[in-house]
Amino acid sequence: MDPRLFLADLEAKPESLRRLAATLADGDAWHGLPDRVERVLLLGMGSSRYAADMAALRLRAVGVDAVAEYASAATGCPPGPRTVVVAISATGTSQETLDAAGRYQGAGPLVALTNMPDSPLANLADLVVPMHAGVEAGGVACRTFQHTLVLLLDLVARLTAQKDVAGLARRDVVDLARRAADATEDLLTRRDEWLPTAAALLDGPHGIYTLAPVERLSSAMQSALMVREGPRRPADGCETGDWSHVDVYLTKTLDYRALLFPGSRYDAPALDWLRQREATVLAVGAEVAGAAAAIRYRGDDEPGVRLLTETLVAELVAARWWVGS
């Protein structure tokens, strides 16, 4: 792992995402799936599972029986010929995911969503969906996380069309990926304007705490992971509504630094507690009353763009701290 190469990986995000959009526009990444799918099981660890949770929630919302599970679970959904299993691993070598995929091999369609089409996971699968993220020389899953989100949104759109219900169209995913590339580029281009302030506001003695609505919980979890994985600082992610039940207590005893991804209907209760306890709040993607600062970027009024873009703030903060450590 190398902080400067990690930064270079982040700087390559816009062009990488545009290439993925072009690939999706040219063909069906999920070609080979059955015409009708009764159940979708998404397996992964770490960043892969964060993305899987997002996709499973969206699939259930349009009537698809879908669940995201830790690949390390000893028990899970039973295998079956009409259950599509999507095993997610950027490297294709995560042991837990390999073990889980092995249990489902031969029972029904097994898909490997991976950045390494010649990996052990790909060799187990009936269908391989490449992430097309390129080599992450810094050793941290950043572009692969963003690409996983896009490809899972594409899967949601595909299965939505199969069920003949209104939802995200596949052409919309391509357009969304392109808009997210523009948004990512905007944040990168203007980082000298916002990054020093963001890094200073979040630089407290007790780590940082990230909050996001359940539909974009992956943003909070991935952001916290980037701070733990790179500069090795304490960080924890939480769903905004749940925050008032499980994390609020820390605001009374810590120098609490919150990175807030707004958009939950439960933002107000969390913000009320944060103000009462004089916590430091940095908002991303919207103006928030009482926040010490807000980072805006192109297209941040669209939830889909936020989903694919907003983790870059924590990634760049993490890279800055990591280089300086």
pLDDT digits (tens, 9 = 90+) for 42-80: 999 999 999 999 999 999 998 899 999 999 999 888 888
A 10 A CB-CB count for 182 gives 16
Spatial strand order of the sheet with 83-88 comes to 65-70, 39-44, 83-88, 110-114, 127-130
Do 126 and 160 lie in one domain? The reply is yes
Residue 198 and residue 168 share a domain: no
Contact 43, 97 (CB under 8 A): yes
Integer Cα distance of 317 and 77 in angstroms: 38
| DSSP 8-state assignment for residue 259 | E
Over residues 20-42, mean pLDDT: 93
Does one domain contain both 135 and 9?
A: yes
- The Cα–Cα gap between 7 and 143 comes to 11
pLDDT band per the 50, 70, 90 thresholds, residue 167: low
Q: Is the model's pLDDT at 164 over the cut of 60?
A: no
Domain extent at residue 279? 190-324
> To the nearest whole number, what is the mean pLDDT of the chain?
95
Q: Which residue's structure tokens are 């029986």?
A: 65
Tokens 């899987």 identify what position? 52
Q: Which of 120, 152, 185 is the last residue of a domain?
A: 185
Same domain, 34 and 181: yes
Nearest CA to 308 out of 261, 267, 271 is that of 261
199, 307: one domain? yes
Q: Does residue 130 sit in the same domain as residue 117?
A: yes
> pLDDT: is 63 or 85 the higher one?
85
- Mark whether 104 and 31 lie in a shared domain: yes
* Statement to judge: residues 232 and 153 lie in one domain: no
Residue 191 parent element (H or E): helix 191-202
CA atoms lying within 13 Å on the CB side of residue 223: 32
The total number of structural domains in the chain stands at 2
